[in-house]
Amino acid sequence: MGIARKNEGNNKKRRRDSSVTIAAKINLLVIGIALFLGSLVAGFAVHREYDFALERLLEQDTARVLAHPELQVNIYYQDMARLGKQLDEFMASGGAAYAVIYDVTGEPIIRRDQIGSYGSPLPAFRALRGETPATEARVVTLDGQEEIVGDGWLVGLLDGGRFIHQTLPVFAALNPLREDLTRSDFGRAMAQPESVGSLHVVGYVHVALSPRGIMSVVAPTVALTTLACVLFVLLCTSLSLVITRRITAPLSRLAEAADEIAAGRLKQPVDISGSGEITDIAAILNGIIGGLSTYKTKMDVDHQLLSMKVEERTSQLSRRNEELNKAVKEVTETKDRLRQMAYYDSLTSLPNRRLFGEQLDLLLRLAARNEENLALLFLDLDNFKRINDSLGHSAGDRLLKEVGARLSSCVRDSDVVAHNVDSGSRIDVSRLGGDEFTVVLNQIDSAESAGMVAQRLIDALMQPMIIEGHELVITPSIGIAMAPGDATDVEGLLKAADTAMYHAKSLGKNNYVFYESEMNAPGLERLRLESDLRKAVERCELELHYQPQIDTRNGSVVGAEALLRWQHPEHGMVPPFKFIPLAEEMGLIGELGEWALREACRQVMAFAAQGLKLPKVSVNVSALQFNKGFARTVQEILEETGLDPSVLELELTEGLLMDDASATVKALQALKEIGVSLSIDDFGTGYSSLSYLSRFPLDELKIDRSFVTKFHESDNDASVVLAIIALARSLNLRLVAEGVETQEQYQFLTRNGAHIIQGYLFSEPVTAEALKPLLAPWHFMHQIQQISDDPSVLREAFVS
Largest CA distance in the chain: 134
Residue 361 has what pLDDT? Answer: 92
With 0-12 CB in 10 A as exposed, 13-18 as middle and 19+ as buried, what is 594? middle
Residue 772 has what pLDDT? Answer: 94
- Which residue did the predictor score with more confidence, 593 or 60? 593
Backbone angles phi, psi at 218, to 5 degrees: -90, 10
Q: How confident is the model at residue 502 (pLDDT cuts 50, 70, 90)?
A: confident
Which of 146-155, 365-374, 615-624 bottoms out in mean pLDDT, i.e. has the lowest?
146-155
Backbone angles phi, psi at 70, to 5 degrees: -70, -5
Segment 250-258 shows an average pLDDT of 69
Q: What is the DSSP letter of 144?
A: T
Q: How confident is the model at residue 424 (pLDDT cuts 50, 70, 90)?
A: very low
- Which residue did the predictor score with more confidence, 491 or 156? 491
Residue 165's nearest CA partner among 193, 185, 146, 184 is 146
β strands within 552-625, DSSP E = 556-568, 572-574, 617-620
C-beta pairs of 386-394 under 8 Å, 24+ apart in sequence? 386/584, 386/623, 386/624, 387/472, 387/474, 389/587, 389/624, 390/627, 391/467, 391/468, 391/470, 394/468
Please write the tens of the pLDDT for every residue from 233-244.
788 788 777 777
694: left (phi over 0), alpha (psi -120 to 50) or beta: alpha
Answer for the pair 476, 457: CB distance below 8 angstroms, yes or no.
Answer: yes
Say whether pLDDT at 377 is over 90.
Answer: yes
Cβ neighbours, 10 Å, residue 221: 15
Say whether pLDDT at 421 is over 70.
Answer: no
Distance between CA atoms of 266 and 257, rounded to whole angstroms? Answer: 7
Distance between CA atoms of 763 and 755, rounded to whole angstroms? Answer: 16
Which of 108-112, 427-431, 467-471 bottoms out in mean pLDDT, i.e. has the lowest?
427-431
- Which residue did the predictor score with more confidence, 683 or 310? 310
Which of 11-20, 112-121, 441-450, 702-711 bottoms out in mean pLDDT, i.e. has the lowest?
11-20
Mean pLDDT taken over the chain: 81
Give the CA distances from residue 560 to residues 83, 544, 545, in Å, rounded to whole numbers and listed in that order: 54, 11, 9
Residue 440 has what pLDDT? Answer: 93
Distance between CA atoms of 754 and 737, rounded to whole angstroms? Answer: 7
Answer for the pair 771, 548: CB distance below 8 angstroms, yes or no.
Answer: yes
Q: Which helix (H) or strand (E) holds 480?
A: strand 476-483
Say whether pLDDT at 800 is over 60.
Answer: no
Backbone angles phi, psi at 465, to 5 degrees: -115, 140
Please list the residues that pair with 103 across neighbouring strands: 203
Residue 796 has what pLDDT? Answer: 41
Answer for the pair 407, 348: CB distance below 8 angstroms, yes or no.
Answer: no
Residue 684 has what pLDDT? Answer: 63
Distance between CA atoms of 255 and 19, rounded to whole angstroms? Answer: 12
484 prior amide bond cis, ω within 30:
yes
Percent of the chain whose pLDDT exceeds 90: 26
Segment 389-413 shows an average pLDDT of 83
- Which residue did the predictor score with more confidence, 601 or 74? 601
Please write the tens of the pLDDT for every residue from 509-539.
889 999 988 776 665 566 667 767 877 877 8
Say whether pLDDT at 631 is over 60.
Answer: yes
Say whether pLDDT at 257 is over 80.
Answer: no
Q: Which helix (H) or strand (E) holds 702?
A: strand 700-703
Backbone angles phi, psi at 758, to 5 degrees: -135, 125
Residue 97's nearest CA partner among 210, 216, 219, 206 is 210
Which of 7-16, 444-453, 669-678 bottoms out in mean pLDDT, i.e. has the lowest?
7-16
Q: What is the DSSP letter of 310?
A: H
With 0-12 CB in 10 A as exposed, 13-18 as middle and 19+ as buried, what is 423? exposed
Helices (H), ranges, 264-381:
276-343, 353-370
Q: How confident is the model at residue 792 (pLDDT cuts 50, 70, 90)?
A: very low
Segment 310-338 shows an average pLDDT of 87
C-beta pairs of 418-423 under 8 Å, 24+ apart in sequence? 418/443, 418/444, 418/445, 418/449, 419/445, 420/445, 421/372, 421/445
Please list the residues that pair with 439 across neighbouring strands: 377, 429
Distance between CA atoms of 97 and 113, rounded to whole angstroms? Answer: 6
Q: How confident is the model at residue 426 (pLDDT cuts 50, 70, 90)?
A: very low
Q: Which helix (H) or strand (E) holds 534?
A: helix 520-536
Please write the tens of the pLDDT for every residue from 182-211.
887 777 777 776 666 677 888 899 888 878
Sign (positive/negative) of CA torsion 210, 212, 213, 219? positive
Answer for the pair 729, 753: CB distance below 8 angstroms, yes or no.
Answer: yes
Say whether pLDDT at 550 is over 70.
Answer: yes
Segment 47-66 shows an average pLDDT of 81
Residue 4 has what pLDDT? Answer: 47
Q: How confident is the model at residue 673 (pLDDT cuts 50, 70, 90)?
A: very high
- Which residue did the predictor score with more confidence, 612 or 21? 612
Please write the tens of the pLDDT for every residue from 681-714.
867 665 445 666 777 888 998 988 888 887 777 7
Segment 95-104 shows an average pLDDT of 85
Per-position DSSP letters for 428-475, written without gaps between them: EEEEEETTEEEEEEEEES-HHHHHHHHHHHHHHHTS-EEETTEEE---
Percent of the chain whose pLDDT exceeds 70: 82
Distance between CA atoms of 688 and 703, rounded to whole angstroms? Answer: 15
Highest-pLDDT range among 15-29, 477-491, 715-729: 477-491
- Which residue did the predictor score with more confidence, 440 or 388? 440
Distance between CA atoms of 204 and 133, rounded to whole angstroms? Answer: 12
Residue 795 has what pLDDT? Answer: 46
Answer for the pair 788, 794: CB distance below 8 angstroms, yes or no.
Answer: yes
Distance between CA atoms of 334 and 63, rounded to whole angstroms? Answer: 88
Please write the tens of the pLDDT for every residue from 435-467.
899 999 988 888 899 999 999 999 999 999 998
Answer for the pair 232, 38: CB distance below 8 angstroms, yes or no.
Answer: yes
